[in-house]
A and B are shown apart, each in its own frame.
Chain A
Amino acid sequence: MGKTILVNADKCTGCKMCELVCSFHHAQTFKPSASRVKVKVNSREAIFTPQVCMNCEVCPPIEVCPVSAVSTDEETGVAVIDHAKCNLCRECIAACPYNAISFEAGGNEVIVCDRCGGDPECVKICFPEALVWAEAEEPSAV
């Protein structure tokens, strides 16, 4: 398996810069809801968790999609939405255990991380290194 995005929530400071650069890369605008990565906030204890497709071996969205629009990319292992097939029922959003699939507000698409073709923008901007781009097998990177 190749490189993937590894998440270390302990290091996340909650700045959400990843959301803005992701939105700009994919939608050429600055809109958090267009971001493929989302920072989940536990405000009471100030725990921040960047949520993004985790290459699950068994991907629940694939199983729940009524029109078989979700598959996994052979190379990267991330979930892929076939927009031609997608009927916008949003079952996949509810099914993903990592909240990695979302619906773009004001847009008309179900969205999910595509790893920016192998050079993820969120990783490049993440100064606390809560998001890193590394071999999935290397536990030392986490």
Chain B
Amino acid sequence: MAYGWVGGSLEIDLSQGKVEKQQNDPGLYQAYLGGKGIGTRLFRDKAPLEVDPFSPENLLIFATGVLVGIPTPSASFGTVSFKSPQTNLLSYCAMGGFWAAELKHAGYDTVIVSGKSPSPVYIWIDDDHVEIRDASHLWGKSTPETQAAIRQELGNNSAQVICIGPAGENRLFMASIEHGGTNSAGRAGVGAVMGDKNLKAIAIHGTRDIDLARPAEFVELSEQAFKRSETLRDWVAIKNWCHNYMQEHMDWALYGNADDMPAGSGFERYGEICREFVDRSLARELSCYNCPVKCKSMVSLGNGKYYPVKCQAWMAFTLACKIPDLAFGVKCFDLCVKQGMDYISTARTLAFAIELYQKGILTREDTDGLRLEYGNAEVALTLIAKMARREGLGNILADGTNRAAGIIGRGAEEHVYVVKKLELMTDSVYNPYYAFVTATSDRADLHFGTVALSPSSWHRERDAYIEEGWWLFPQSWRQYLDVDYSANYAGLAEMTVYGEDTKTFVDLAGICWFCTGFWPFPFLKIGDMARLVSCATGMEVDEAEARKIASRTRTLIQASNVRLGMTRRDDTVPEKFFAEEPTQRQKELELVRLDRGQWDKQLDRYYELRGWNSQGVPTAETLDELGLDDVRQDLEERGIL
């Protein structure tokens, strides 16, 4: 009998229309637990890494976290592993909501989708019954329409549906998989791969038990964690955020294509605007499965409709288009959700296009007559819709800034802000620690990459955060708290590795990173999660073992991507952040530019702590120690090691 896991998986070949059910290998799941660990391992075992992302041989591996579907606070996540068309590397997206728990209750830890269907289809998983169904009538529908239509035709209102929108069908690099209105697997082109497979959606309904090895102890640990969640709950409450943090958060996010707010643009009173907006418009706060933190909201814009909003959607579009009106930001986010677009890349691409227009690199001839001006809400919304449809300029922008710059030329490359071809999140370069974590992360990404709170930020909570023992890192690392980044980068590599291990374990367990280290007051640390995994599965996992399991996954992803050509040169952020003079506003905020010498020293240290050589290639010893001897052999045979 399986504990923690449910023990089954599905292999679905869309080319053949074939569904196979399999019993999982317990050894594999003990070594990788779930999520992106299982996803990465299975990808390597079942497909050549060099596969063209838009070919039937590419896989989409949906893998649930081991602690999902049972009362683990804030555990609702599964991951999707795939070869990214945008980065051309092995990538993954994590998505919360309700789908992963439902999948486990249906009896499956993992679903592997391969092949390409000759016509649009969706997959219906109802416990033992698994079926590939026609989706021709759903093609072209928005993501909320698709989810509603599928529920209706299945006659099952409690089915959980994940689906792509028109953007995925049109294979935009910024196409996402959407679920329930507020949850997305967004980045690196995951929705485009699903669209390429002609797979519109997966609908899931499950009614099975999940059994645990030591349920009573599990529930007790879980209840203790719930009690600890109160501090974070209050801190993250959207009213608290909008009332107290938006102004400074905006200041951190000024970089790249929108790195300054002109005087008189209204952003001087952005904090106040946010306060007024949330007081007027907040209708409800929402959670994912089992989560005590209400990080998502429904707002009412006074037109009788409700709009979802979450996380950076509060500011991504307002900053990108320099429009200090949250209703505008919310509408853009809503359009992205409907079209199935990653709002982070979409917002950054908008900012990029507007900047090119301002600099004269794009003219009205290139923009189908649109005046790409800051402050023009209608033009922004039109451009998003054009991107989703790949229409005119939208077609050039649809694959993100990197590819668009290549097509546009004329110096557009100078205005691209990407790491490994993926658009940066808003506050990625706020300080050297954030930049370093972004550059070294397994997905070139900040929030759901690996960043843990910078010790020098969140000044207001900092003391309580440390004194009360909330800090994610070992208490003995307190000296890193007061590092002055303009002078030295001490501890940056150490914290990055520790944070990365914690985040990786979070992904394997299926917990939300927001509650386990990204924000202050994490109520589950890596040791707590290890105990929960022990009680759930019956394995004996302590903190050291948890970090080893995390390192195995991290190193496997690294070994895969160095085989695909990733090198030390890729572990950096755009050169401008090292070389360019800060803007006036950035100087006022005392933001420092990056120092190449310090950076390289920390990168050496990071590779050393990870057990990789100076080029970022995992060493033979490290691979052997982590039980990845097949990977060592592979790298040796290819002359990489």
Contacts and interface: CB of A to CB of B under 8 A. Distances in A.
Given A15-B292, A20-B71, A127-B233, A33 B284 contact: no
Contacts of A32: 105, 207
Interface string B289-311: 11110100010000000101000
Given A10-B284, A31-B105, A46-B284, A24 B219 contact: yes
Given A16-B98, A20-B290, A28-B215, 13 more contacts: A13-B285, A13-B287, A15-B290, A17-B290, A30-B215, A41-B157, A43-B180, A44-B306, A45-B298, A46-B284, A127-B226, A127-B229, A127-B230
Interface of A: 10, 13-17, 20-21, 24, 27-34, 41, 43-47, 105-106, 125, 127-128
A46 B306 contact: yes
Interface in B268-287: 284-287
Contacts of B306: 44-46
Given A31-B207, A125-B226, A127-B229, A46 B290 contact: no
5 contacts: A13-B285, A16-B98, A21-B71, A24-B219, A31-B210
Q: Considering residues A27, A31, A41, which has the most beta carbons from chain B within 10 angstroms of its beta carbon?
A: A31
Nearest to B305: A45
B69 interface: yes
A82 B285 CA distance: 40
B211 interface: yes
Contacts, number: 88
Q: Considering residues A15, A16, A28, which has the most beta carbons from chain B within 10 angstroms of its beta carbon?
A: A15
Nearest to B157: A41
B288 interface: yes
Interface residues of B, number: 39
Interface string B412-455: 00000000000000000000000000000000000000000000
A30 B213 CA distance: 12
Q: Considering residues B147, B209, B215, B226, which has the most beta carbons from chain A within 10 angstroms of its beta carbon?
A: B209
B144 interface: yes
A30 B289 contact: no
Nearest to B76: A15
Contacts of B611: none
B71 A17 contact: yes
A41 B158 contact: yes
Main secondary structure of the interface of B (DSSP, over half): loop
Contacts of B230: 127
Contacts of A47: 284
B410 interface: no
A13 to B, nearest CB: 4
A46 B226 contact: no
Nearest to B285: A13
Given A20-B71, A43-B181, A125-B226, A106 B290 contact: no
B248 to A, nearest CB: 27
B290 A43 contact: no
B166 to A, nearest CB: 19
Contact of B294 (A16, A34, A128): A128
B91 to A, nearest CB: 28
Interface string B142-169: 0010011000000001100000000000
Contact of B288 (A15, A20, A106): A15
Q: Considering residues B180, B229, B285, B287, which has the most beta carbons from chain A within 10 angstroms of its beta carbon?
A: B287
A13 B212 CA distance: 26
A31 B181 contact: no
A15 B289 contact: yes
B466 to A, nearest CB: 26
Contact of B286 (A13, A31, A127): A13
A31 B215 CA distance: 13
Contacts of B147: 43
B289 A16 contact: yes
B344 interface: no
